[in-house]
Chain A
Amino acid sequence: MPGPDVGTDEPLLSVRNLRVTFQTRGSRAVHAVDDVSFDIHPGQHVGLVGESGSGKSVTSLAIMGLLPRRGATVEGEVSFAGRNLLDLSLRELRAVRGREISMVFQDPMTSLNPVVTVGVQVGEIMQQHYGSTKGEARARAVDLLDKVGIPDPERRVGEYPHQLSGGMRQRVLIAMALACEPRLLIADEPTTALDVTIQAQVLEVLKKLVADTGAALLMITHDLGVVAGLCDNVNVMYSGRIVESANRRALFAEPRHPYTGGLLASIPKLDSPRGSPLTPIPGSPTQVLPWSEGCAFAPRCGNQTEECVSRTPELEPDRGRDLRCFNPLATVDAGAVR
């Protein structure tokens, strides 16, 4: 799947030094997202990868301006088509949300309103952004449900979410997100809550519709397998910062950051002998060093040196990618991490 031509035109979304701080009274401020920068060009597919708690979902909510105003401080710049989204008023943001930037959420069980029919939920987005009448919105909802591969859409528009399976509901959420053909779609772990077989189907639907509408895609996931089939560029996050940013081919061929290497090594392989144990990354994401003191990944890292726990690594260009590591993996064989 060749990615669209990248890098020549202006970025559609440009995130610069994004920092999100959660501060509750009486407790220490937490930087859930720390100095994150990346670009998404029109039509480009970008992955944001990391474990739970790495700050990827908070990044997406910050881009959409959906973080609670009380308790969360968002700094930096999120410019979308030349406008800084962080400066927009609520009214201006509302015109952007759903129409220019849209979002698919993780949990299809709770992201649909249980007492409103799916047709109304899909249709009201058109009513909001295009001023469509109820009838037009319904007709378009049928059309959209058909597009996302829901059989018998005429009947399904009148049904309630609990009458649909998880996969169907996620298709409905995709239909809602793409209703106004946004220029950017943010998908926050859109397949995590689904069975593996359904995951593949839903991903195919997402892929096809994104390709059809020419939307750019920000794919937020912990699953490198999803990224491999979908993204042009990949940003790997750890503890709120990007640790490695590369195009897909380079990242999978030669992971440089030990964390990326660990993520790749933890994917079970078909050709490994039966019964051989999985290769997890040792430790848990709670064992972090604050970035101000060194590398947050150092406590779990096999390549740790004295420098890693005494100095903060910066994101620096390294062999055609950006890397935040003093002691990266050897370049030639990615197998070293196995």
Chain B
Amino acid sequence: MTVDLPPAGAAQPALVVDSDDASRGGLWREAWRRLIRNPTAILGALIILVFVLVAVFAPLLAPYEPGSTQWSGDVTPTSVPGPSPGHLLGLDRFGSDLYTQLVYGARKSLVYGVVSTAIGLTFGALLGILAGGIGGWVDTVVMRVVDIMLSIPSLLLAVSVAAVLGQNAYSIMIAIGVAQVPIFARLLRGSMLSQGRSDYVLAASALGIRRRRIVMGHMLPNAAGPTIVQATLNLATAIIEVAALSFLGLGESDPAIAEWGRMLVAAQDRFQAAPRLALLPGICIAVTALGFTLFGEALREALDPRTRR
């Protein structure tokens, strides 16, 4: 029995054209293409880029050393010197240059936010893959652990971690990271479970593909989208939480080392006399968080299958 195979392309000319246009590339590349056409994403990315550049090139941008209090003599209990030719934004209450402190603050705030989110993402994803990929009793155990973590208020957790590890930057990052673990774990587990019921997973197991390969090579790339979006959104909240914890005095104990949340604390008792001491770091926190939120939302839109095409 010999049969001349009809060439598939002959009957389907449309698809040959199709493969050369914008649909070329995978799900991720397609999402990227939608992302760079979205003005919200561009705005968010620009904001993030500006702050990242400021953080990276802080020594070039700042006119003075961070934390140098050489002008402390100019600060009196009732007044803090405002903007002057030598000090673009004036001094802070310790007699440091406010502009310098803000520039170096970008460094700290971004690093704290990124590191704590990375901690949360890593451990959350690990738990989510375990729970959603293996299922059964592993799923039950992991999710009960996550439930327990959720029941502890993140502030209380942060205080406890700080109590154990001492009052420093690491305990803040760990505390905020740990508080994020349940968010990522639940999200990834949910999307892994729904991928696990899909036809291509059944097809792959019908062809004898190893379970580990199915989970890591097939289910995870399909399930990762919402989690990555959540990570960008969490960066914004992490930066705010870092500020909040520093504000409560759980951060670095040395007030001279600039961090926006810490600067807000310092501004408290001079708020009447010099509102800019609180406003400027506050605006920095808000704008950075906004940048990450805008970008995260745009990313979510780009990856959402309902908004495709």
Contacts and interface: CB of A to CB of B under 8 A. Distances in A.
Interface of A: 1, 64, 66, 94-99, 102-103, 105, 107, 110-117, 124-125, 128-129, 149-152, 159-160, 162-165, 167-168, 171, 173, 176-177, 179, 197-198, 201, 204-205, 207-208, 211
> Chain B contact residues (Cβ within 8 angstroms of A): what range?
35 or more
A111 B200 contact: yes
B3 A97 contact: no
B64 to A, nearest CB: 50
Contact of B210 (A94, A149, A152, A208): A94
B156 interface: no
Interface string B2-16: 110111110110110
A116 B218 contact: yes
Given A113-B218, A124-B209, A149-B6, 18 more contacts: A66-B205, A98-B208, A99-B208, A105-B202, A105-B206, A110-B199, A111-B200, A111-B202, A113-B204, A115-B221, A116-B221, A124-B217, A125-B208, A128-B207, A150-B8, A201-B11, A207-B3, A211-B1
Given A102-B207, A110-B198, A128-B210, A115 B7 contact: no
Contacts of A151: 7-9
Contact of A167 (B8, B204, B209): B8
B33 interface: no
A2 to B, nearest CB: 9
Given A110-B200, A201-B6, A204-B3, A125 B14 contact: no
Query: Which of the listed residues B2, B5, B210, B222 has the most CB atoms from chain A within 10 Å of its own CB?
Result: B5
Contacts, number: 121
Nearest to A93: B208
A66 B206 contact: yes
B18 interface: yes
17 contacts: A96-B208, A98-B209, A102-B206, A102-B207, A105-B199, A110-B198, A110-B199, A113-B218, A117-B26, A125-B209, A128-B209, A151-B9, A163-B23, A163-B24, A168-B12, A168-B15, A176-B207
B7 A208 contact: no
Nearest to B218: A113
B236 to A, nearest CB: 27
Contacts of B144: none
Query: Which of the listed residues A1, A96, A125, A163 has the most CB atoms from chain B within 10 Å of its own CB?
Result: A163
A167 to B, nearest CB: 6
A106 B128 CA distance: 31
A100 B260 CA distance: 64
Contacts of B15: 163-165, 168
B71 interface: no
Interface in B191-222: 198-200, 202-210, 213, 217-218, 221-222
Nearest to A122: B207
Given A115-B26, A160-B27, A197 B11 contact: yes
A118 to B, nearest CB: 11
A198 B13 CA distance: 13
B255 interface: no
Contacts of B204: 113
B23 A162 contact: yes
A149 B8 contact: yes
B303 to A, nearest CB: 11
Nearest to B27: A115
B205 A97 contact: yes
B8 A168 contact: yes
Contacts of B28: 115
